[in-house]
Amino acid sequence: MTDFTQFPPSFTWGVATSAFQIEGGASADGKGPSIWDTFSHTPGKVIDGTNGDVACDHYHRYPEDVAIMAGLGVDAYRFSMAWSRVQPQGKGAWNEAGWDFYDRLLKELESKNIDAHITLYHWDLPQGLQDEGGWLNRDTAYHFAEYAAEVARRFGNRVKTIATHNEPWCTANLGYGNAQFAPGVADLKQSIQVSHHLVLSHGLAMTAMRKVGSSAQLGIVLNQWTADPATDSEADKAAAEFEYSRSVEWFMDPIFKGKYPEYALKVHGDNSPVVQDGDLEIAHQKIDFLGVNYYFRAFCSTETPPRQPECKLGKTDMGWEIYPDGLTELLLKLHAAYELPPIYITENGMANPDTIVNGEVPDAARIDFVLRHLKALNDARLQGVNIQGYFLWSLLDNFEWNSGYAKRFGIVHVDYATQKRTLKHSALWYRDYLIQQRPQTQLNAAHAA
């Protein structure tokens, strides 16, 4: 695919990572353990038997990684903070050495004129809080708000945005619903209650950060998809309606409408969450931006075995259908249903079985994937959706949760034995694409350094 889509000069171009997937330094300088440290060290939990102790060693190699970003010419870097690095137990004493690491990272980004977009929580709850019930314990939401306020107090005037959560759907459904992710619980009722505590914690954190006062835009990042029935059967259509309601509307409705979707509540029945008076008022408050992570659509079949999509554009190395049209459809559907703030596409990318060939890493499939999705989001933008930026997932190959190091999402190849970084063809393409997007005079001189 060779189509070139021109975006407005103000459009933000970035790359994204998360703390546990790249930082390493698992116990460095006073960091406490997280649930992913515990989970990844539990035999049988990670497919290839690895853990995140070293990952990409970003904790020690961040200057090199920021230099790579500068060379790509990106405007922005989205990353998460490791809560247990700055507050080892998730409550109580702060760890100044942990704060110092993020201070150094921010200074490095500032020196290259790269805007920082922080995510407070990307699934790595301090183990100390898990020992007290984790997200099933309502108190965790209040501890999270205290952590959020401290981040805003220290860094709120140095970063562009602060997102409370990344993909709370995954925390609830993969962490508590099917045990695929940490902490490894398989209990539907618990997962639904956890989802409510996450929504509550978002609202509490928003209030706490606003009280501190900062220049950062505040919001949340949700993974979302359309849900298409596999056939015209009533059963498939009902399955698709429920999938969209329990996944997308389940988090959007409390935030934007102050209530849970009635259809999902009806189907959940006795598994519906315990909601205290005032909880939904706390969740339902203005946010400055919405982050949307999009990778695939839901294809809903009630047949046995389930009918599969055609996958006309193939699948990623995760086995996910490549379906860029779903991004346009999703954005337009959200636009019609909610009064939305500005949107960032905060994650989009693909796992590809990349290998080094004669010193290079060809990944034409990833370039095609990104181009198609950029066209799809621009189609929605031209139809009135206020989309302000795009963050490619991911900058680096990294620890891909329960897949370990077997799946490569990065535009930069990482040799985990040596930590050598090699720019893939997609990274070189992204650099050239950004040059095309804006006049050379708009490129920051630091980016070319």
Looking at residue 441, its pLDDT comes to 46
* Cα separation, 253 vs 245, whole angstroms: 9
Looking at residue 5, its pLDDT comes to 87
Looking at residue 442, its pLDDT comes to 56
Record the tokens describing residue 434, joined without a space. 């950004």
Q: Distances from the Cα of 376 to the Cαs of 153, 240, 292, 297, 379, in angstroms?
A: 38, 22, 14, 13, 5
Residue 424, Cβ density class (10 Å: 0-12 exposed, 13-18 middle, ≥19 buried): buried
Q: pLDDT band for position 448 (50/70/90)?
A: very low
Q: Are 301 and 219 in contact (CB under 8 A)?
A: no
Q: Among this protein's residues, is 167 annotated catalytic? A: yes
Q: pLDDT band for position 440 (50/70/90)?
A: low
Q: Answer yes or no: is 437 a known binding residue.
A: no
| Residue 445 or residue 68, greater confidence | 68
Verdict on whether the full-model pTM lies above 0.85: yes
Task: State pLDDT tens for residues 154-212.
Answer: 999 999 999 999 999 999 999 999 999 999 999 999 999 999 999 999 999 999 999 99
Catalytic residue among 167, 243, 321, 329: 167
Q: Answer yes or no: is 122 a known binding residue.
A: yes
Which residues 6+ apart lie within 8 Å of 299 measured at CB?
A: 228, 230, 307, 308, 309, 321
Beta strands in 378-447 (DSSP E): 387-393, 412-415, 420-423
Task: State pLDDT tens for residues 167-176.
Answer: 999 999 999 9
Percentage of the chain surpassing pLDDT 90?
96
Average pLDDT over residues 222-244: 98
The per-residue pLDDT of the chain, averaged, comes to 96
Which residues 6+ apart lie within 8 Å of 54 measured at CB?
A: 24, 26, 416
Record the tokens describing residue 230, joined without a space. 């596999």
Helix axis angle, 58-72 to 425-437, nearest 10°: 50
Q: Cβ atoms within 10 A of the Cβ of 119, count?
A: 24
Q: Are 167 and 222 in contact (CB under 8 A)?
A: yes
Record the tokens describing residue 46, joined without a space. 């990670």
Q: What are 221's strand-pairing partners?
A: 166, 291
Omega before residue 394 within 30° of 0, cis: yes
Q: Are 301 and 240 in contact (CB under 8 A)?
A: no
- The single residue listed with the structure tokens 């080094």 is 356
Average pLDDT over residues 80-89: 98
Q: Answer yes or no: is 94 a known binding residue.
A: no
Domains of the chain (ranges; CATH) run 12-447 (3.20.20.80)
> Is pLDDT of 251 > 50?
yes
Task: State pLDDT tens for residues 300-337.
Answer: 999 999 999 999 999 999 999 999 999 999 999 999 99
Q: Answer yes or no: is 393 a known binding residue.
A: yes
* Cα separation, 34 vs 399, whole angstroms: 15
Q: Distances from the Cα of 318 to the Cαs of 104, 108, 243, 295, in angstroms?
A: 34, 33, 20, 10
Q: Are 354 and 406 in contact (CB under 8 A)?
A: no
Q: Are 70 and 55 in contact (CB under 8 A)?
A: no
Q: Answer yes or no: is 400 a known binding residue.
A: yes
Record the tokens describing residue 347, joined without a space. 């994650």
Average pLDDT over residues 72-91: 98
> Is pLDDT of 133 > 80?
yes
